[in-house]
Amino acid sequence: MLDKITNLDDLWAYCDELHAQFYPDDSLLPIMGNGKTLNPEYMFVFINPTYRNVTSSKEWGGFRAPWIGTKYIWKIFNRAGHFDAELLDEIQNKKEWDTPFGEKVYKHLADRGFYFTNLVKWTGENADLPNKEKINTFLPLLRHEIGLVRPKKIVTFGLMPFEALTGEKLKLGDYYNDLLESGVPTTYDVEFGGHKTEVIPCYFPVGRGDPKRAVEILKLI
């Protein structure tokens, strides 16, 4: 099925079908990727969507994309020099996101050459990490997504997406120390859908991750 999909709209339709097949009783919808959808400078791959994302609600009705309706991730990108301060102020003062405001934020990401997505598109009802079954279900979709979007580089947040895409094992602490010493991120070559690109590992930037170290790595990309 995936090998017949040649555009993101069809991929997201397939994602919805996959989600309905495996998780028919879930109350939250899967979250798609968004941003600069062709040849972005960076594709940022998170683990799975937060239940705080307002677009996971079946009542939303607009486009679905990572982190819409949340506040903290945009602070991280701003601290790293990758997000506009005025737009961040709007986000911090925004009580409730609507579709036009979500589109404004994602246009800003696209203008910067960024694309946000998740390893697992399934949205959990708590902060638990996705299990191996969910990773195996959605990993082929992410690989196909990379082949369609064709990013120049990929930044993976947390070890789950890094290991899933590269097949490599990594100690982030050692990687971080080496990076601070050299000032140049070590990259890992991957190829999906005939597209060759490089993966840069990073700490997960919120929650159980390490926001401070994530900012330091993001500053160097």
CATH code, domain carrying 98 = 3.40.470.10
What is the pTM for the complete model shown? 0.97
Mean pLDDT across the chain: 96
Beta-sheet strands, E only, within 41-192: 42-46, 114-118, 153-157, 188-192
Token readout for 67 is: 């982190």
Q: How many folded domains does the chain comprise?
A: 1
Q: Domain containing 78: what range?
A: 2-219
- Structure confidence by residue, pLDDT tens digits, 58-117: 999 899 999 999 999 999 999 999 999 999 999 999 999 999 999 999 999 999 999 999
* Maximum alpha-carbon separation in the chain: 49
* Of 104, 62, 55, residue with least CA distance to 83: 104
Q: What is the pLDDT of residue 167?
A: 97
